[in-house]
Amino acid sequence: MTKNVDFLIIGGSAAGTTAAEVIRLLNPQSSVSIITDENHEQYSRVLIPHYIRGKVQREQVFLKKPGWYEEKGIKLTKGIKAVSLEPESHRVTVDDGEQIEYKKLLIAIGGYVNKINIPGSDLADILYLRTIEDADSVIEAAKKSKKGLVLGGGFVSLDFATGFRVNGVQKVVILTRDPYFWSGHLDPESGRLMKNLLSANGVEIMTQEEADFFEAGGPEGPLARRVRRVVTKSKKKIEADIVGVGIGIKPDLEWLTKAGIKTNRAILTNEYLETNIADVYAAGDCAEFHDVFFERQHIMGNWANATSQGAAVGKTMVHSASSGQVGQRTVYETISSYSDTFFDNSYSFIGVTDEKFADEIIVRGSVENNKMARIFIKKMNGISRIVGATVINDPAEVAPLTVSVRNKIDILKFKNRLSDQAFDLKEMLA
């Protein structure tokens, strides 16, 4: 059986749902369909850590109710996965064998968690954190656990650690093979600050270690298949009756590369979020787009970015479908900004925080003061610009740094004062 639709969107989270809403607003007569492999209407992945910590109720995580889709005239099909694409015939096949013919296709599939594959990794209470069901499992398991272990040194590891502690886990160890915590995002001093802040809240960081295998709770009975400890590659034994695995996500690209779509770490697009295949677009975590702001290919894996990309690509898709009479071919231009809290602390990442991209990095604050910012500077088109920043425990610094990055302010005359915390960053904006 084959269905026909004007706009087909694969993925029902931030990018896909936002694009559908924009398309419907601009082109009310078109048919718009979303297919998602999840069994829910849209919910917020950003709110999942807050749900685990008890800051929001489960129902508050859900952003859309079934009636919203009906009201907007958007068809949502849940629990179904796209498995092949035929660009020439504008056809997508899903896992139940049905085929859908489209005029315009948006791929907004996000990513799947990387699973750990070592002996014992199938034991009970070895958990991941991506879906609402994952969050339910974390809460349930944490409430009956005393010793927690987290594998990985990224953002999700922090969500696990804080979630475990809030739900009664008495001791948590984060195990990372990196030389210090968040080494992919921070310098050693900032990593030391994070270690101190976590240690003060019952979370130990164990670096340059890697899990070798898991051991179960006992030879028989109800604990037989529950995790009990991990043995590291250096033969250390760490007791744990709950384990959180946060070792990244990756999009499912194989079926797309078979269809001729160009990929790298994700789906390659231009600044309009158009792929190399006509009438096929990509947005959100699965898109590696041309970033005109920083003049490079870029992946931004956060909710705000996915929402903004969905809005931009929706306009472009409508513009293309209507021969330019409606909508507008829209360049996606933004800076990434991500902030969150952990225990009584906060952190923010603004713009590009890649040491290889910057010409110079200026540090404000110190480990001793329990707050620190790193400011990334690069000369672009003859202007010394702040292109990014990491900020720990100094939220007042976030706004002026963000504005400086967004407005491409020439900060040359201020550069020598940036490391002085007595210098008010707002002076750069005057």
Q: According to the model, what pLDDT value does residue 222 have?
A: 57
Confidence of residue 1 (pLDDT cuts 50, 70, 90): low
Domain 344-429: state its class. Answer: alpha beta
CA distances from 163 to 167, 182, 326 (A): 6, 18, 46
Dist. CA 68–CA 108, nearest whole Å: 20
List CB contacts of 375: < 8 A, sequence separation 6 or more.
361, 362, 363, 364, 386, 388, 389, 401, 418
Find the helix or strand (DSSP H, E) in which 104 lies. Answer: strand 99-107
- Give the least confident one: 65-79, 148-162, 211-225: 211-225
Q: What is the DSSP string of 21-38?
A: HHHHHH-TTS-EEEE-SS
The reported pTM is: 0.92
Question: Does 2-111+251-321 match 114-245 in CATH topology?
Answer: yes
Residue 399 dihedral angles phi and psi, to the nearest 5°: -60, -50
Is residue 89 predicted with pLDDT exceeding 60?
A: yes
Q: According to the model, what pLDDT value does residue 36 have?
A: 97
For domain 2-111+251-321, say whether CATH 3.50.50.60 is its number.
yes
Domain ranges of the chain: 2-111+251-321, 114-245, 344-429
Dist. CA 216–CA 124, nearest whole Å: 9
Domain 114-245 maps to which CATH number in 3.50.50.60, 3.30.9.10, 3.30.1130.10, 3.30.750.200? 3.50.50.60
pLDDT digits (tens, 9 = 90+) for 113-159: 999 999 999 999 999 999 999 999 999 999 999 999 999 988 899 99
% residues pLDDT > 90 (the chain): 87
Confidence of residue 106 (pLDDT cuts 50, 70, 90): very high
Is residue 326 predicted with pLDDT exceeding 80?
A: no
Angle among Cα 53, 57, 58 to the nearest 5 degrees reads 100
